Amino acid sequence: MYDLGRTLIFLGILLVLAGVVLVGLKHFNLPIGRLPGDLNWRGRGWSVSFPLATSILVSVVLSVLLWIIGRMRH
């Protein structure tokens, strides 16, 4: 049970940090979700959004960040 509690605390902190980053991105007026390559379809009463370019950018940034953290741990 102790490990489950620690895991839940870690996930909670991670969610808070993700929220702070998203609010910070909005504050700096970065076009996350509106990059060229993000697909949007709008119709009468509906819309569909698929942020392809944003997903690739976030994936690359997280990969580099985790690679750097992994290199620092060795």
pLDDT in tens, 4-41: 999 999 999 999 998 888 788 778 887 777 889 999 99
Residues 40 and 15 in one domain: no
Residues 18 and 44 in one domain: no
Residues 39 and 61 in one domain: yes
Residues 55 and 69 in one domain: yes
Range(s) of the domain holding residue 26: 1-30
Cα(46)–Cα(9) distance, rounded to whole angstroms? 38
Residues 44 and 67 in one domain: yes
Residues 71 and 50 in one domain: yes
What integer best gives the mean pLDDT of the chain?
A: 89
Which residues make Cβ contacts (< 8 Å) with residue 35, sequence separation at least 6?
A: 51, 53, 54, 57
Residues 14 and 42 in one domain: no
Which residues make Cβ contacts (< 8 Å) with residue 47, sequence separation at least 6?
A: 40, 41
Q: What is the pTM of this model?
A: 0.63
Q: What's the total number of domains in the chain?
A: 2
